[in-house]
Amino acid sequence: MDSKKLEILMTAIDLGSFTKASEVVGYTQSGLTHMMDALEREVGFSLLRRDHNGIQLSPQGRQLMPAIREFLQA
């Protein structure tokens, strides 16, 4: 797993949308979406639920979040 993708995931979750996260991290919204799709392919399941209200963690994403936070703090 790429730490940059995980950092972007955390930013998107904290802000609730790829659009807001893209403004913070300096990537396009489309670029962030592609990065998160790639990350989900790497882990083999959906990390996020996406809808017209933004994004939130999937149940599997919530289970993985403690490990992601620990990895990023190391």
Domain at 39, CATH number: 1.10.10.10
Q: How confident is the model over 5-62, as pLDDT tens digits?
A: 999 999 999 999 999 999 999 999 999 999 999 999 999 999 999 999 899 999 999 9
**What is the CA angle 66-26-49, rounded to 5?**
45
Name residue, tokens 């913070």. 24
What pLDDT is stored for residue 1 in this prediction? Answer: 72
Q: Which residue has the higher pLDDT, 11 or 1?
A: 11
What pLDDT is stored for residue 67 in this prediction? Answer: 94
What pLDDT is stored for residue 2 in this prediction? Answer: 86
Task: Spell 7-17 as b/e; 16+ CB within 10 A means b.
Answer: ebbebbbebeb
Domain count across the chain:
1
φ and ψ at residue 31, rounded to 5 degrees: -60, -40
The CA dihedral of 46, 68, 59, 20, to the nearest 10 degrees, is -70
What pLDDT is stored for residue 74 in this prediction? Answer: 86
Q: Which residues form the domain of 11? A: 3-73
